[in-house]
Amino acid sequence: MNVEFINPFLQSASNILTTMATLETQRGSATVHCEDLPHADITGIIEMVSDEATGVVAVSFPKPVILEIAKRMLDEEYLEIDETVSNLVGEITNMVYGGAKALLDEQGYNFDLAIPRVIQSRDIELDFPKGCAVIQVPLSTEAGVFFVEISFEGTEALCEIQ
């Protein structure tokens, strides 16, 4: 997978949390998953389509992390992942995609506009392209670690070489 597809999403996620939740992020090492991804409590997922590439990006949060982000962004204490927090995950995913889309558009990759879905479950099954590798990058914050997960068609070879 070309790193030029990954970095805009990481940069966008970092910018959003720094600006809107006053949380600095530190990028961890990327891992390739060909089967199951580690569990998260809530995930925003968005399909990406352009003439050049098709894929999926997801932003996944453990419960304590998203509750702290919600507290910082919405200036209200949350004890559970409710409809407001779920909507916030959708909005964060939308902002991450929008920021990355703008950066990728500058490089000639004109992704279509898309609407995120939010999945809440400890056993999330994400709709990544079948047979394709998923690149998962942890982003550490003062609130804890969350994940940006990206998969594009054509990444099957990453699983074959592992």
Q: Where are the domains of the chain?
A: 3-160
What is the per-residue pLDDT for 36?
61
What gap in Å lies between CA 132 and CA 116, rounded to an integer?
Answer: 20
Q: Which range has the worst mean pLDDT, 59-63, 70-74, 111-115?
A: 111-115
pLDDT at 97 over 60: yes
Range 102-125 average pLDDT: 81
Hey, is 44 helix, strand or coil?
strand
Homologous superfamily in CATH for domain 3-160: CheC-like (3.40.1550.10)
